[in-house]
Amino acid sequence: MTIKRLLTDARMSAIVKHEGTVYLAGEVANDLEGGIASQTRETLRNIESLLAQAGTDKTRILSATIYLRDIDADFAAMNSVWDEWLPLGSAPARATVQATLCDPRMRVEISVIAAANG
């Protein structure tokens, strides 16, 4: 039952691998000046990069939790970007909720759990 932590600091690990499962910390965009579509694209690129570092990919996402600052204003645009990013037939279990995020400029944060390759 080995637990492997990657990109770790005193408070958290960006990636945790355990028994064939990869857990990612909540990811956000670095450029917080853009709108929901821009922030969602960058967040998904960050997730894709972390999954690659963990030895897996977006087709193996099991679950996603999406936090939106304003679900009424941003849900449709976020979904549009999500739908373009996720390959058909790869839809994970998913929840989307409205949340107060740690920076008022943040519009989206996404956390995923994925199956490891092999």
Nearest in space to 96 (alpha carbons), one of 111, 114, 86, 84: 111
Residue ranges per structural domain of the chain: 24-115
Q: What is the mean pLDDT of residues 38-49?
A: 98
Residue-wise pLDDT for 67-115, tens only, equals 999 999 999 999 999 999 999 999 999 999 999 999 999 999 999 999 9
- So what's the pLDDT on residue 93? 98
- So what's the pLDDT on residue 117? 84
Domain 24-115: CATH class, spelled out: alpha beta
Q: What is the phi/psi pair of residue 97, to 5°? A: -135, 155
